[in-house]
Amino acid sequence: MTAHLVIKGGTPLRGTVGVLGAKNAVLKEMVACLLAPGRHRLGNVPGILDVELMCQVLTHTGCNVKQEGHDLFVVVPEELNPEAPIDLVRQMRASIVVLGPLLARCGQARVALPGGDDLGARPIDMHTGGLERMGADFELVHGELVGRVEGRLRGTEIELPFPSVGATENMLFAGVLAEGETVIVNAAREPEIVDLISQLQGMGAQIEGAGTSIVTVKGVDALSPNDHVVIPDRLEAGTYAVAGAITAGDVTVTGCRPEDLRMELRKLEDTGAEIERGDGWLRIVGPERPKAVDLATLPFPGFHTDMHPQMVAYLSIAEGTSVVTENLYDARFRYVGELARMGADIVTEAQHAVIRGVESLSGCPVLAPDIRAGAALAIAGLRAEGITEVGEVSHIDRGYEGFAERLNALGASVERHD
C-alpha cells in the first residue's frame, strides 16, 4: 500500500496553525530566477514535493539549487540548457512556464508537452499562441514542444481569451526581456501573480498594472538576481480554516493574508461559521452543522477552484442542499465518488454538483485523486465517525508541508504510514 493517512474523526480542532509561502507563487518565482544569471534567494519557501520537483527542473537547466530550511538559493549560470524533459513535466505540469524564460534567455526551448491530468484536458494554446505573437515558432517533435525565436522576442499586445494564470506568467516572463512593450489584456489578477510581478520588479523589470486585467511590460536588456519573500499560501490557510469549520472547532490561522480569501471566507460565513480577521491572521469558529450555500468557482477574486473540494466536503454535512458549480476544470469532480463512500449524498451533472447535506459521515478507506481533493477527503475524515484511511497521500505532499503534524497540533488524530 502506498503512503496513507489514518484519521480518527470526531474531535473539534482547537488552536493555532501557521502557514508557509504559496505553492503557486514559489514555483513560478523559482522559474523567474532563470531570467537573470547569478545567485537568487527566495524566503518562506514551503517544504513540499512540488518545490522539490521544480528544483529538479532548474537543476536540469544547469542551475545550482540549495534549500536551507525555508530559504531557497538558486544560482543561475550564464549558459542554460534550454529543456524540460517529459519525466519532470509529467510529474508537474507547472514546468511549462519555463517556456517563456528559456526562449527569452536562450532563443530556444525544448519542453515536453504536459498533456492532460487529473483535473481535465488543460491545454496550453494560450501560452504558445502568445509567444508566437511575440516572434516564437513552435514545432511538436515526438511529444516535445520545440520553440525558437530569431533574435529577441518582440513586445506586442496579447489578448488572452481567458485570464489564465500560467499563460499570464509565461507572457510576463517573455515580456520582461523582450524588445519594446508587451501589453497583456485580460491578464490573471491572482495574488500569486502580483507577488511574481513584485519579484520581477525587484530584479529590475518594468511592469505596470499588477493585480489588474491589463498589465504592461517594458522590456529591458538584462535583469539581476535578488531576494524575495514568497506571499502566504491562501489555499493552505483556507484548507485549515475549513478543517476548523467542519469539526465545529475554533482555529486561528497565522502567517496568512485574509484579504486574499475574501470570497471563500464570505461563503464560510454564509454557512454560519464565525470569522474574525486581522493583519496576518484569521480565526474561525465552526457551527455545529453548517447551513447549505451555493457557490461557483471563478478566477480571482471569485471563489478559488482549488478551495472547491474542501468546501464540498464541508457542505456534505450541511443542513439543506448546496449547488457547487465548477467553471475552471472539466474533470474536477472525480473525488465525489470517494466522498460518497463516506456517506455523502452528491450528484454531479456536467459542471454542477448537487450536495444534499447528511447528518454524519462514516470513515472508510478512500484514495486522494489530486492535491486539493486529497485535502478535502482528509477534512471529511476529521468529521466522520470512526477511521478514514486516505491513500495516495503523495498528492497531499505536493502542496502541504507537515499536513498531519499541523492537524495533530490542533488536536486531530492523524497518523501517517509510509
Q: What residues contact 337, with CB distance under 8 A and at least 6 apart?
A: none
Helices (H), 46-118: 49-60, 86-91, 99-106
* Contacting ligand EPU within 174-213 (CB under 6 A): none
CA distances from 44 to 34, 251, 289, 399 (A): 19, 22, 35, 14
Closest CA to 244 of 223, 207, 273: 273
Site map (CB under 6 A) of ligand EPU, residues 311-350, x = contact: -----------------xx---------------------
Could you identify the residue written with the cell 504559496? 22
Q: Does residue 37 bind ligand EPU (CB under 6 A)?
A: no
User: Which residue has its beta carbon closest to ligand EPU?
Assistant: 166
Number of chain residues interacting with ligand EPU (CB under 6 A): 22
d(CA 197, CA 25): 10
Binding ligand EPU (rule: CB under 6 A), the pick from 65, 89, 99, 126 is 126
Site map (CB under 6 A) of ligand EPU, residues 286-305, x = contact: -------------------x
Are residues 184 and 175 in contact, defined by beta-carbon separation less than 8 angstroms? Answer: yes
Phi, psi of 386 (to 5 degrees): 80, -155
Cell, residue 296: 461557483
Q: Which one, 147 or 399, has the nearer CB to ligand EPU?
A: 399
Site map (CB under 6 A) of ligand EPU, residues 390-409, x = contact: ---------x----------
- DSSP bridge partners of 121: none
* Contacting ligand EPU within 146-165 (CB under 6 A): 162, 164-165
Of these residues, 117, 250, 270, 330, which one is catalytic?
A: 117
* Min CB(126)–ligand EPU separation in Å: 3
Q: Which one, 162 or 274, has the nearer CB to ligand EPU?
A: 162
Are residues 39 and 73 in contact, defined by beta-carbon separation less than 8 angstroms? Answer: yes
From 20-28, 220-228, 282-290, 343-351, give the range in contact with ligand EPU by CB under 6 A.
20-28
Binding ligand EPU (rule: CB under 6 A), the pick from 46, 82, 166, 225 is 166
d(CA 223, CA 202): 9
User: Around 251, how many Cα atoms within 13 Å sit in the side-chain half-sphere?
Assistant: 30
* Contacting ligand EPU within 67-96 (CB under 6 A): 94
The 3-state DSSP class for residue 215 equals strand
d(CA 202, CA 3): 40
Phi, psi of 333 (to 5 degrees): -90, 15
Q: Does residue 124 bind ligand EPU (CB under 6 A)?
A: yes
From 56-64, 122-130, 199-207, 236-244, give the range in contact with ligand EPU by CB under 6 A.
122-130
Q: Which one, 260 or 317, has the nearer CB to ligand EPU?
A: 260
Q: Which one, 193 or 318, has the nearer CB to ligand EPU?
A: 193
Is 250 considered catalytic here? no
Binding ligand EPU (rule: CB under 6 A), the pick from 34, 48, 57, 167 is 167
d(CA 180, CA 158): 13
Q: Does residue 125 bind ligand EPU (CB under 6 A)?
A: yes
Binding ligand EPU (rule: CB under 6 A), the pick from 122, 277, 334, 356 is 122
CA dihedral 117, 356, 339, 297 (to 10 degrees): 30
Q: What angle do CA 177, 127, 214 make, to 5 degrees?
A: 65
* Min CB(94)–ligand EPU separation in Å: 4
d(CA 231, CA 217): 22
* Min CB(138)–ligand EPU separation in Å: 13
Cell, residue 377: 477527503
Closest CA to 36 of 228, 220, 203: 203
What DSSP character marks residue 384? S
Binding ligand EPU (rule: CB under 6 A), the pick from 40, 127, 133, 228 is 127
Q: Does residue 214 bind ligand EPU (CB under 6 A)?
A: no
Binding ligand EPU (rule: CB under 6 A), the pick from 372, 383, 395, 406 is 372
Q: Which residues bind ligand EPU (CB under 6 A)?
A: 23-24, 27, 94, 122-127, 162, 164-167, 305-306, 328-329, 371-372, 399
Active-site positions? 117
